[in-house]
């Protein structure tokens, strides 16, 4: 597959649809894919004629998050991790989720403003199963989008939740038939684009600011936890066990 095919963009009037197109790796993100996503989001941010964006994944998964072979090399100058996690933007972004949104995949969805999901979609933070932590804002954006106990469940069990349960707790805006998430997201985008784009951008900004979306402390706490985990023997064991397809032998050190 040519690198230009790894991220597909499609313009429809004032809407830009961005598709992560690496289904053979469950849309896991490495350096190349992060740079291509960053470029697509730059287009969404910089073109005044684009009033809404949609992000989706090709194949059976929205995204499995980080490609472990990338060894953490997926940070972009403008968008942060995956080109989107730390991005300062004003254009509304809708996640159209089919299949799994796990680890960084869920954190990408949390970076969006609205989420539409197919019935069989699953959302989870499985990092602890590998002796890691969710380091791309999931540990502090999760409690913004979910009740504390549910966010805690995701963070410390590693078990995913269903689209129905995610919608019940407010993470997902709409649950639709499998295969229909992108169509529903496009319909939502058209509704948004019927409104004044400046009013939409400013309304989005006010909602996020008044809801307590101050990420600075969250990033500081996550960075400290990540440093501790990365220096641990459990991290090495968790990753080795993942690649060797075996149960990890944890030591708690």
Q: Tokens 């992000």: give the residue.
A: 55
Q: Exposed/middle/buried for 53, CB within 10 Å: 0-12, 13-18, 19+?
A: buried
Q: CA-to-CA distance for 41 and 215, rounded, in angstroms? A: 20
Q: How far is CA 156 from CA 131, 132, 150, 159, 173, in A?
A: 11, 11, 10, 8, 24
Secondary structure of residue 19 in the 3-state scheme? strand
Is 26 in contact with 18 (CB distance < 8 Å)? no
Give exposure, 177-196, as e/b (b: 16+ Cβ within 10 Å): eeebbbebbbebbeebbeee
Candidate list 107, 153, 236, 244, residue with the active-site label: 107
User: Is 98 part of the annotated catalytic residue set?
Assistant: no
Instruction: Name the DSSP letter for residue 83.
Output: T
Contacts of 86 (CB under 8 A, 6+ apart): 79, 80, 137, 215
Candidate list 127, 153, 184, 244, residue with the active-site label: 127
Tell me the CA end-to-end span of the chain in Å, nearest whole number.
41
User: Is 127 part of the annotated catalytic residue set?
Assistant: yes
Phi, psi of 239 (to 5 degrees): -70, -40
Q: Tokens 């350096």: give the residue.
A: 31
Known catalytic residues are 107, 127
């Amino acid at each position: 597959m040519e690198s230009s095919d790894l991220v597909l963009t499609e313009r429809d009037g004032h809407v830009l649809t961005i598709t992560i197109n690496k289904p053979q790796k469950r849309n896991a993100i490495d350096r190349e894919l992060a740079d291509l996503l960053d470029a697509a989001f730059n287009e969404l941010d910089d073109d005044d004629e684009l009033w809404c964006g949609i992000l989706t994944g090709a194949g059976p998964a929205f995204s499995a998050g980080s490609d472990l072979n990338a060894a953490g090399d997926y940070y972009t100058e403008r968008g942060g991790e995956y080109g989107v996690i730390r991005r300062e933007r004003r254009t509304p972004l809708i996640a159209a989720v089919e299949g799994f949104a796990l680890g960084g995949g869920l954190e990408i969805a949390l970076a969006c403003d609205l989420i539409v999901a197919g019935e069989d979609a699953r959302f989870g933070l499985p990092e602890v199963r590998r002796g890691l932590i969710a380091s791309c804002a999931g540990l502090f954006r999760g409690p913004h989008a979910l009740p504390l106990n549910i966010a805690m469940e995701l963070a410390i069990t590693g078990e995913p939740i269903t689209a129905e349960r995610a919608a019940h707790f407010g993470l997902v805006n709409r649950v639709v038939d499998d295969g229909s998430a992108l169509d529903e997201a496009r319909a939502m985008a058209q509704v948004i684009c019927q409104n004044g784009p400046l009013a939409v951008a400013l309304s989005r900004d006010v909602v996020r600011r008044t809801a307590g979306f101050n990420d600075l402390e969250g990033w500081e706490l996550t960075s400290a936890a990540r440093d501790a985990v990365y220096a641990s023997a459990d991290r090495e064991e968790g990753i080795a066990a993942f690649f060797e397809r075996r149960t990890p032998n944890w030591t708690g050190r």
